[in-house]
Structure 1
Amino acid sequence: MITVLPVETPGLGDRTYLAHDGSAALVVDPQRDYDRVTALAEAAGVRITHVLETHIHNDYVTGGLALAREVGAQYLVNADDEVSYERTPVHDGQVIEVGDTMRVRVIHTPGHTHTHLSYALEADGEQVAVFTGGSLLYGTTGRPDLLGPDHTDTLVRAQWHSAHRLAKELPDETAVYPTHGFGSFCSATQAAGLSSTIGQEKRTNTALTAGEEAYVGQLLAGLDAYPAYYAHMGPANSHGPGAPDLSPPSVADPAELRRRIEAGEWVVDLRDRTAFAAGHLAGSLNFGLDGPFVTYLGWLIPWGTPVTLLGETAGDVAEAQRELVRIGIDRPAAMATGGPEDWTGGAPPAAYDRATFGDLKAALAGGDGIVVLDVRRDQERAEAHIPGTVHIPIHEVPGRLAEIPEGRVWVHCAGGYRAGVVAALLHARGRDVVAVDDSFDTARDLGLCAPAHPAAARAATETPETPASRGTLPTPTPTTTDDDRQEITI
């Protein structure tokens, strides 16, 4: 009997997997903070003998090399990947024995990258699972544009053929375990569901239900921006990252915090946007741990800028530090805990207003010439927007500050998190801001929105049914453990 234990990394929308037969274990696509995996193996009483990479990752720094070295496991990486470290090179069709009962077949599945691999797991002569990395996801596939526009057309077509190869070579009951697709920007579209099989994907995945040209057209039309820090992940993974240092950083007093802000460093408040707006250290920024903290911090920060973390507790700082090492921000410059009264050195905390879309509607009706800044992505804007608003996607705001008109700036997004990030950034630069902390659905209900752009409306009508709308086939039954991790027994 084979047990597959997913290790969730929700901040990045990824999963790592540990599969074992009660004795030997393999690990697929481990995150940088691999201590979560070794703890899981220890709890299961198994020895990790093989660490497998499906591809050179673009969205996080791998922990694979350091994990393999620590536990003495073989580190499997595509023989065609150019890396600067010793590994066990593997190629299409190769079969690896893992322990006494597991066999892994290497399948070349290009599309997300040129050298992407999937790993089909066989136990006791039966095909039980396939680890698909960034290739076949739940209801979708990995995006093909992360290597640049010169590669996109080749990769998107390769992705379609890779999906069909998996569907042809593997039995319908084979469980599918992708790395991406749980909110990751590596997913071409939002993946659906938490588990699946090859048979289910044949029924619901556009790559398998649409012809090649239709799939290519739909996938490319749906691509949007992805985080800027992705540019640094591939080189880091090819070079061979070491183990992370998760020891606490030094503690900064108010004078040091002020000095760092005045030097242009980032001092990041980890509290939620409500607490931050009510009172904070002037000049600090807000990336709350209650949202996609690491994605947006990594996306907006000028790479290499020192980061100091402000948290209510040391545990909050440790959580943020763990998320940061996953994208290669290895050591915070400093930390401080408590609240604004502990960080300001006696100065009054800075603050700004929060509002709803109802408040915004009233302000617009007042005709006082307010500035409304929409920081959603282009595709969100095309679906619906408030007429007369300034549109600068969140990731473009730092480079386009001069385009924001003078006056009080009301910042909105789709739910409030991104608006809070941008409001804090503008406020730190001396702007008068209001953060709209509300669902954009409310703006629609209040009649604030213009109709959808014709192209967006057409895309909406042409979008095929999703797995959620069409129903699903039976899938492996998850059992929630004490730490809320899914344990799937095949």
Structure 2
Amino acid sequence: MFFIDTLDLTGLGNRSYLVGGGRTAVAVDPPRDVERVLTAAARRGVRISHVAETHLHNDHVTGGPELARITGAAYLIPADARISFAHTPVRDGDRMSVDPADVAAGLTLRAVATPGHTPHHTAYVLEDAGTAVAVFTGGSLLIGTVGRPDLVEPRLTEGLARAQHASAHRLATELPDGTAVLPTHGFGSFCSAGQAGGTATTIGRERADNAALTRDVDTFVAGLLAGLDDIPAYYTHMGPANAAGPAPVDLTPPAAADAEEIAARLAAGEWVVDLRSRVAFAAGHVPGSYNFEAEGQLAAYLAWLIPWGKPVTLLAESAEQLAAAQRELVRVGIDRPAAAATGEPSGWVREGEAPGSFPRAVFADLADLADLTDLADLAGRLGRAGVVVLDVRRGSERAMGFVEGSVHIPLHTVRRRLGEIPPGEVWVHCAGGMRAAIAASLLDAAGRTVVAVDDAYANAGKAGLRVRDARG
């Protein structure tokens, strides 16, 4: 008998796995906060004998070296990855016993070279008594898509895209249809070349639905390359950190900051990040602070937007929210907040000062603001009313449709493109509200009058606003 435990890392859109038998187990692509893996192993009553990486990660800092050090496990890394610390190199065809103490169990991991997401990418096939039952595909074959091929080196992108096609076909050819496909990326991760559908799949299902397996290589590559979007800025720092060997994490509480220190840090140009909900932030916040919801994709978006290495002070409604945020942030290399405070805005602003605020709205409110008897000149009408509609979605999202007359500046470029936003009251929207809240906080801190549209983009047309396809 064997087990597979899935550890969801929802903030990054990734998964890690613990697979084992009766006595020992293997951790696949573990997160940097290794306590989660250790807890899962303790719950199963197994010892971690191996830690396996499918590739040198570009989107997060791995917990592999620390987990291997704590447990004494062998640290498996694809042989062609350039790693500067001790590890066990893995090559195509290598087999590792998952539970060597229980020979009768017959559980093994077989390494399968699957270049594409990276040149050295390796998948691991779980075999039970010689039969493939699952494959840990990392960033190669995902649910309905594949991992991005453009995160290593621009000049390698097309070649890696072709390799992704070949790797997907190799897995589909060698493995039975019933083999469970267990990817690391594809659950909201920016490492995914497309949006995954569902949470579980098999080789047979992918053979029928995945573009890498249903299209010829030239058609597949052309579509893959055309759909690639911007790469998060912090990815530049993840690969080198993983190649050098990440340091152990320190999750002890940061130094407490009072109102005077918060003000001083803002005055020094440091980032003060409010982790509370966008509803609470809009109602009251420290002027100059930014809103990155703890319940959203905190790590991915904060790491993408913040100048790398900039000190950050965290404001949270509770110690529990603060601790959870710290755990999220170490996964992307934001290791130690400069300071932190818990409570509410009234305790974070200096005596005699008042919290800031801005209104929230829905698309129907924007429609009411315009004279909808003639939508041909919505931008002009809103402009004459002193209103700017700002769309902060990514380019691939806008290509699917946009509010006519809106200004498009993707969220990750807003701070450096503030001067491009026309004068007036800025109504900022995204696809659902979270990114609009971040952008609204950036604009509010810059002194702009802002309204955060906290609504699903699908409601724009329903409200009566003219929505058009960017390609039409």
The two structures have a TM-score, normalised by structure 2, of 0.94
Identify the residue that residue 374 of structure 1 maps to in structure 2: 391
Task: Give yes or no for contact 1:419–1:436 (8 Å, CA) kept in 2.
Answer: yes
Question: Whose RCO is larger (CA < 8 A, sep 6+)?
Answer: 1
CA distance in 2, matches of 1:357, 1:139: 32
Match of 2:464 in 1: 447
- Is 2:3–2:20's contact at 8 Å kept on the other side of the alignment? yes
Secondary structure, aligned partner of 1:177:
strand
SS of the residue corresponding to residue 352 of structure 1 reads coil
Is residue 2:310 matched to residue 1:305?
A: yes
User: Structure 1 stretch 118-127 or stretch 62-71: which is displaced more?
Assistant: 118-127
Q: Which amino acid aligns with 1:147?
A: V
State the distance in 2 between where 1:185 and 1:53 align.
19
> Residues 118 and 133 of structure 1 are in contact (CA less than 8 Å); yes or no, is this contact kept in structure 2?
yes
> Which residue pairs with 1:355 in the alignment?
361
What residue in structure 2 maps to residue 133 of structure 1?
138
Range that drifts further, 428-437 or 68-77: 428-437
Superposed, 1:115-194 pairs within 5 Å as: 115-194=120-199
Q: Distance in 1 between matches of 2:411 and 2:444?
A: 15
What do the CA deviations read for 1:8-54 (whole angstroms, capped 9, x no partner)?
00000000000011211001000101110000100100000000000
- 2:427 aligned partner: 410
AA in 2 matched with 1:362: D
Q: Which runs of 4+ in 1 moved over 4 A?
A: none
- The residue that corresponds to 1:467 in the other structure is none
1:61 aligns with 2:66: no
Q: CA deviation at 1:359?
A: 1.5
Q: CA deviation at 1:266?
A: 0.6
Counterpart Cα distance in 1 of 2:239 and 2:309: 16
Residue 32 of structure 2 corresponds to residue 32 of structure 1: yes
| Cα distance in 2 between the residues matched to 1:175 and 1:438 | 37
Q: Which residue of 2 aligns with 1:426?
A: 443
Work out the CA distance in 2 between the residues paired with 1:395 and 1:320. Answer: 20
Deviations 1:197-234 (A, max 9, x none): 11121111111111111211221222112311111110
1:277 equivalent in alignment to 2:294: no
Query: Residue 460 of structure 2 contacts residue 467 of structure 2 at CA under 8 Å; is this kept in 1?
Result: no
Match of residue 234 from structure 1: 239
2:69 and 2:261 map into 1 onto residues whose CA distance is 38
Query: Aligned partners of 1:450 and 1:171: how far apart in 2?
Result: 45
Runs of 5+ unmatched residues, structure 1: 456-490
Q: Judge conservation of contact 1:63–1:242 (CA < 8 Å) in 2.
A: no
Q: Which position in structure 2 is the counterpart of 1:400?
A: 417
- How far does residue 125 in structure 1 lie from its aligned partner after superposition? 2.5
1:148 to partner: Cα distance: 3.0
Secondary structure of 1:360's aligned partner: helix
1:5-84 matches, within 5 Å, as 5-84=5-84
State the partner residue of 1:384.
401
- Superposed displacement of residue 369, structure 1: 2.9
Pairing partner for 1:218 from 208, 215, 223: 223
Equivalent residues, number: 455
- Of 418, 441, 452, the residue aligned with 1:435 is 452
Letter in 2 for 1:339: E
Q: How far did residue 296 of structure 1 move?
A: 1.1
Could you report, residue by residue, the CA deviation over 1:72-92 in whole angstroms, capped at 9, with x for unpaired residues?
A: 000001111111100001111
CA distance in 1, matches of 2:271, 2:261: 12
CA distance in 1, matches of 2:153, 2:463: 41
One-letter code aligned to 1:449: R
Q: Please give the alpha-carbon distance, in whole angstroms, between the structure 2 residues aligned to 1:398 and 1:27.
A: 39
| Partner-residue secondary structure (3-state), 1:6 | strand
Structure 1 residue matching 2:366: 3-state secondary structure: helix
Separation in 2 of the partners of 1:412 and 1:322?
29
Q: Which amino acid aligns with 1:410?
A: W
